[in-house]
Amino acid sequence: MNLTAVRIAVLGAGYLGRIAALRLRARGARVDAAARAAERRRLLQGEGLAALDPMDGAALSQVVGAADGVIVTAAPGSEGCPVLALTRGLLADGRARRIVYVSTTGVYGDRGGRWVLEEGSLNAPTIQGARRAAAERGWLALGQAAGAEVMIARLPAIYGPGRSVLDRLRAGDAQRVRKPGQVFNRVHVDDAAEGLILMLERGQAGQAYNLTDDAPAPAHEVTEWAALRLCMEPPPWTELDDPAVNAEMRRFYLDSKRIGNGKAKAALGWRPRYPSYREGLEAILAQT
């Protein structure tokens, strides 16, 4: 897909979706960005994006029906992917032929620190991961039924300006949780957004792509490195079963795996600008 003069709908213009929308517009695409919160829509409009409320059926119908491509970043709930439920008929009858659904590497489940690729089995240990896997299946099924080219982007934890361990350390909210052998990938928001755009341009229908950095590392290593760069003492060790560790953090520590990104590099020509947390966090420091 040549992005110049096409119309792209970004359904879920949150932290990642907003960056992707701005980059798409900079490349010549006409972008419609959906966000439920009125404050968020005002922000998007202030940045020159056409913003809409996804719960406004008439506006959503107009935008999705006119879109050449769609990026879906909204997370699924107990009743499945809300965007799929709202737009199934619109996409089936519309002109959109390139759809990127943003999922998570959490669908792979725990691999005991071993490497996993896109062809690996899906074994999500959490309800959230299982919902993502179900949403993937739903979007791929829609693609087959509607003749659309649906692709799946699997992302690990996303970080970037305003959302990184640097911010948590400064706010006094960072934790250093003890779990020997735990390792995982992450991805800078700019690299993730670039990967989504390349998928729109070059991705193959029915395929999943891991958009991760090149250097999986333990969470405590990242926290210690960031604390050193801020000239701070790292937070004290916390045991995983400590009540101070919330449920979301515990779910995060269920998985230990290394995610391979070679497919995205070979098929899309994607290369992370920030191949490890060090380059990514250095870039954030340079902006603050």
Each residue's pLDDT tens digit, 113-147? 999 999 999 998 889 899 999 999 999 999 988 88
Question: CA 62, 63, 65, 69: dihedral to nearest 10 degrees?
Answer: 170
Provide the angle, in degrees to the nearest 10, between the axes of the packed helices 82-93 and 127-146. Answer: 10
- The pLDDT tens digits of the residues spanning 186-239 come to 999 999 999 999 999 999 999 999 999 999 999 999 999 999 999 999 999 998
pLDDT at 1: 82
pLDDT at 229: 97
User: 115: exposed, middle or buried (C-beta count within 10 Å: 0-12, 13-18, 19+)?
Assistant: exposed
pLDDT at 209: 98
How far apart are alpha carbons 261 and 154 in whole angstroms? Answer: 10
pLDDT at 15: 97
CB 70 within 8 A of CB 96: yes
Q: Name the residue ranges covered by the structural domains of the chain.
A: 7-159+186-214+258-273
Q: Average pLDDT of the chain? A: 93
CB 52 within 8 A of CB 11: no
In CATH, the architecture of 7-159+186-214+258-273 is 3-Layer(aba) Sandwich (3.40)
Share of the chain above pLDDT 70, in %: 100
pLDDT at 101: 97
DSSP 105: G
State phi, psi for 49 to the nearest 5 degrees: -100, 150
pLDDT at 248: 81
How far apart are alpha carbons 134 and 75 in whole angstroms? Answer: 12
State phi, psi for 158 to the nearest 5 degrees: -100, 135
Mean pLDDT value across residues 158-166: 97
Mean pLDDT value across residues 47-65: 92
CB 16 within 8 A of CB 193: yes
